[in-house]
Amino acid sequence: MSTHVDAPAPVERKAPTTTQIGRSIPRLESRAKVTGEAEYIHNLRLPGMLYGKIFRSTVPHGRIVRIDTRAAKELPGVFAVITGEDVRALIPDPYYGPAFHDQPVLAIDKVRYVGEPVAVALSEDPHIAEHAANLIEAEYEDLPAVFDEVEAAAATQVFVHDALRPAGMFPDLKHLHGRTKTNVALDFTLRRNDVEQGFAQADYVFEHVFRTPTVAHTALEPIVSVAEPRGPQALTIHTSSQSPSFVRSEVARLLGWPENRVRVRTAFLGGGFGAKLYIKLEAMVAVLALMVKRPVKISLTMEEQFYTITKHATTVHLKTGVTKAGKITARQCEAWWNGGAYADIGPRVTQKSGFTAAGPYDIENVALNSYAVYTNLPPAGALRGFGIPQLVWAYESHTDLIARELEIDPLEFRRANILRDGRPQATGTIMHDIATVEVLDALSSAMRWGESFDRGKGSIRRGHGIAIGFKACIAPTTSGAIVNLYGDGSCAVYCGTVDMGQGSDTVMAQIAAEVLGLDPQSVSVIHPDTDVTPYDMATLGSRSTFHMGNAVRLAALEAREKLFAIAGKALEADPSLLTVADNGVSAPSGRRLSIADVIKSTFLMQAGNIIGTGSFRPTYTSPSQGDGQSDDITPFWMVGAVGAEVEVDTETGRVRVTRLVNVADVGTPINPGIVTRQLNGGALMQLGFTMSEAVRFDNGQAVNASLADYKIPGILDIPDQTLAKIVAGCQSTGPFGAKGVGETGTFAVSPAIANAVHDAVGVRIFDLPLTPETVYRALRAAQHNPLEDQQ
């Protein structure tokens, strides 16, 4: 019988006594990865497999007049060339998407961005397939295009889509509705009390606009999918996906099949960061494989990933009212999210991040409008942080400006306004298990805030800055798990969580081991395979430790109860009084049997299985469509703060981050070593988005879509000191007190560094990234000596 529970009510924040929880054991897959034995879909080869190479649009918006595939088809070694019309002959409505069914498998009638897939060439030789794709020609009738998110939202003549059709799959997106003659996919509204009254109560009102650019995920393993027909009515998809359950459901829907005909399996992922969520290549390879009746593999190059999915560029307008004493009375926010040509999961980013747009502050009067906007750029979707880093960049830069204008210490200004446990957040949800004060205290200590600070000399000026952000975990979602205890006392965990480098397999093994009294080394975690592993919404949004961890815990508890029922007979003891530890079951009398011997007592040999199942779904109250209010908007909150010390060369504008301190509320860490590496990894990823990373466009064409031109951090860009500090507590509804932490390290990096630059040289940067040119121009403008093109 499956065990399912709703999340219990919060209890006292005290972590239980454990033996396997809180241990920094090495990750279970480490040896396989360093020896090259680990499985990746990128390395998969199947008999008779064809390779696909994609021919892409060269215009940002156009009506397809002609696609000429003759030269490509005549190339020796080419098996087939497929266009959108060929796909439509097989599937009358070949559109997919998690929010709207707006994206075609291959372009049909129109192209909507430079780089959109138009046709695919197939060959047994990937080089021939690539040559063939280069021989395809297309003619387009140019249509007006729009690239800026604010302009697109206001447009009355240029529309990326004629009509929008909501997907209707996810409960939190059920409010989406069909629209015409607009580029706004979603306008999320949040209102708390009366913001105009709050401004009237203020002595000062501050107003600023902040921007972030499009950035790329740049996972080391490119996106790759392989589809393998199993007869005419079944299909296996091998894919580097973070959401195999969604892939199964969406591909089955496209094909008009029941889900049991579509099998989706994954392996280790070489990074994901949100790029490998929902449908990327899976629908394409599935349709192609069915058309040619052979396995089809498509693996993107790094350049192609820039055309496939990105992070939203944003414009954020903030207005805040403050009293002379430094109390925030009102905050108004408008945020525009550049979703590119297809919505992907942008509406969820727009809404979920909008919940926290007022910041981690206790503000009585809040007004927010958050817009998911279509443009003629590559699609934008989830990227580590799910919109939170863009908003924290804005509200923490804004907050620092206010504090400095009022001549209040930036840390003390935050402390005076911080949102505390037991207080209502802007959505109306009461905060529980949130360590905002403790995080600020730990940051102050780690940064030695208030002590004397070396300001530098000559052209090298030094400064320090801080920032804090928070995030609501996604809801509502469900995770299921199976725990299989074998006859020898070893164990397997079957779950849909995808390990993409974050260490989730090790964490799930530790949770199961804790419940069953095992060594984590004796627990194996099975890669997601929808024919074998239970449903999981996806590996995203820092949800896995909390959601899947709870499901694994429940499954292990059910297996343990079955084990105790057997052991009670063998030990002649009340099953409710038994305990399990060190791979054995003990009775109050002192008698003890190994788990293997307990199982033998029933099966008379090393045979049989003890199986436990569990599913977990937290409670949730949908936000009101009128004002966004909810009394239960999230199962848990993540809090992260960052302190930065920088050196600024006033002659060149170059900024060097010398020290980066990352502090996070992590609940009870299952594996502190993994948590620390997650915090540092997230911080360094966001460091790149802060200092150098931006996809540059010329009339919709990405001009730096390669790692030769798109600058991610190298070893010389890493701060001299990077410190991750854990604020441990207890998430009362989490498995053994744990909460998610995979994104927390990204939240506050950008504003902390910008605030430090302001502290060093007195200039404020409003647009990321903080390149030397950007900083130098700001310095010249502040000196009333702008460069010629600034005059």
Q: What is the pLDDT of residues 644-681, one digit of tens each?
A: 999 999 999 999 999 999 999 999 999 999 999 999 99
> Which pair of structure tokens corresponds to residue 27?
């990750």
Q: How confident is the model at residue 312 (pLDDT cuts 50, 70, 90)?
A: very high
> Are residues 752 and 697 part of one domain?
yes
Decide: 458 and 568 in contact? Cβ < 8 Å: no
Chain length of the chain: 791
Q: Are 341 and 97 in contact (CB under 8 A)?
A: no
How large is the average pLDDT for residues 221-242?
96
Q: Do 341 and 469 belong to one domain?
A: yes
Q: Are residues 535 and 420 in the same domain?
A: no
Where does a domain end: 617, 633, 660? 617
Neighbours of 16 (CB within 10 A): 10
Average of per-residue pLDDT across 325-345: 98
Predicted confidence (pLDDT) at residue 10 exceeds the cutoff of 90: no
The total number of structural domains that make up the chain: 3
pLDDT at 4: 46
Q: Which residue has the higher pLDDT, 145 or 784?
A: 145
Q: Is residue 150 part of a domain?
A: no
pLDDT at 14: 53
Instruction: Please give the residue range of the domain that contains residue 573.
Output: 3-21+477-617
Mean pLDDT of 85-90: 96
**What is the share, in percent, of the chain residues with pLDDT greater than 70?**
98
Sign of the torsion angle spanned by Cα atoms 71, 302, 696, 468:
positive
Handedness of CA 130, 136, 137, 141 (dihedral sign): negative
SS3 284: helix
My answer on whether 586 and 508 are in the same domain is yes
Neighbours of 791 (CB within 10 A): 7
Residue 186 in domain:
no
Per-residue pLDDT band for 15 (boundaries 50, 70, 90) equals low
Backbone angles phi, psi at 288, to 5 degrees: -60, -45
Residue 316 in any domain: the answer is yes
Predicted confidence at residue 12, as pLDDT, reads 40
Helices (H), 406-523: 410-417, 436-447, 504-516
Residue 155 resides in a domain = no
Of 266, 299, 332, the residue at which a domain comes to its end is: 299
The whole-number average pLDDT for the span 289-294 is 98
Mean pLDDT, rounded, of the chain: 96
Q: Are 312 and 142 in contact (CB under 8 A)?
A: no
The predicted model scores a pTM of: 0.95
Q: Is there a single domain that holds both residue 455 and residue 415? A: yes
CA 137 – CA 131 distance, rounded (Å): 13
pLDDT score at 8 = 40
Are residues 443 and 585 both part of a single domain?
Answer: no
Q: What 3-state class would DSSP assign to 89?
A: helix
Question: Per the domain annotation, does 304 fall within a domain?
Answer: no
Which of 270, 299, 328 lies at the terminal end of a domain, its last residue? 299
Is 5's pLDDT higher than 50?
no
Q: Is 423 a domain residue?
A: yes
Q: Where are the beta strands (DSSP E) in 618-654?
A: 637-649
* Assigned domain for 555 exists: yes
Q: Over the stretch 209-230, which tens digit does the pLDDT of each residue have? A: 999 999 999 999 999 999 999 9
Task: Judge whether 196 lies within some domain.
Answer: no
- Give the amino acid at 654: R
* Tokens coding 153: 């939202």
Is the same domain home to 637 and 782? yes
Q: Which CATH number is 596's domain given?
A: 3.30.365.10
In a shared domain, residues 448 and 336: yes
CATH number for position 123: 3.90.1170.50
- Count CA within 13 A, CB hemisphere, residue 68: 7
Q: Is 74 a catalytic residue?
A: no
Is it the case that residue 491 has pLDDT exceeding 90?
yes
Amino acid at 350: T
Burial class (CB in 10 A: 0-12, 13-18, 19+), 416: middle
From the candidates 250, 572, 743, 773, give the one annotated as an active-site residue.
743
Pair (46, 8) in one structural domain: no
Q: Are residues 81 and 119 in the same domain?
A: yes
Are 227 and 289 within 8 A, CB to CB?
Answer: yes
Q: Where are the beta strands (DSSP E) in 165-299?
A: 184-192, 204-212, 224-229, 235-239, 262-265, 296-299
Tokens found for residue 608: 């049989």
Distance CA 780, CA 518 (A): 64
Q: Assess whether 740 and 634 both reside in one domain.
A: yes
Q: Are residues 596 and 718 in the same domain?
A: no
